[in-house]
Amino acid sequence: MNRQRTEKLWRQEKYRVMYYSQKHYNQLRQAMRDQLSHEHIEQLIEDAYQQTPTDGSKRNACQHMWGYFRKVATLEEKQHYEQLLQDGDSATLLCFLQQLATHYHVTYLQESTILQNKGY
């Protein structure tokens, strides 16, 4: 039961952690493989949120989420995504990704805290 709770937490926080810090994301991936305690995972996640996101970490997280839509998005959606990525306005880009997650019924992303208007 505790392991399921930890896995659910990681699923929900994964892209938000990546947004804040690739280093912490990598540490958490390893911690999950090592099956560290739920409390330890929570602490690592909180540590990640103390970091200041870089333009690169924000971009990387958005590109990973875009991967869910790359093959299904319309040409207009692809162009809009590319423009938002180039503009570097991560709040608008995250909002667009949230709209796509809803439109294409990507539950995994819909459940991610980064796209629930509290993740950035």
CB 51 within 8 A of CB 21: yes
Query: Could you give the C-alpha distances from 4 to 10, 32, 46, 60, 110, in angstroms and in order?
Result: 10, 11, 19, 27, 19
What would the pLDDT profile of 61-111 be if each residue is shown by its tens digit?
999 999 999 999 999 999 999 999 999 899 999 999 999 999 999 999 999
CB 102 within 8 A of CB 110: yes
What would the pLDDT profile of 18-47 be if each residue is shown by its tens digit?
999 999 999 999 999 999 999 999 999 999
Write down the pLDDT at residue 2.
84
Instruction: For residue 45, give the nearest of 10, 89, 73 by alpha carbon.
Output: 10
CB 62 within 8 A of CB 97: yes
Whether 1 has a pLDDT exceeding 70, the answer reads no
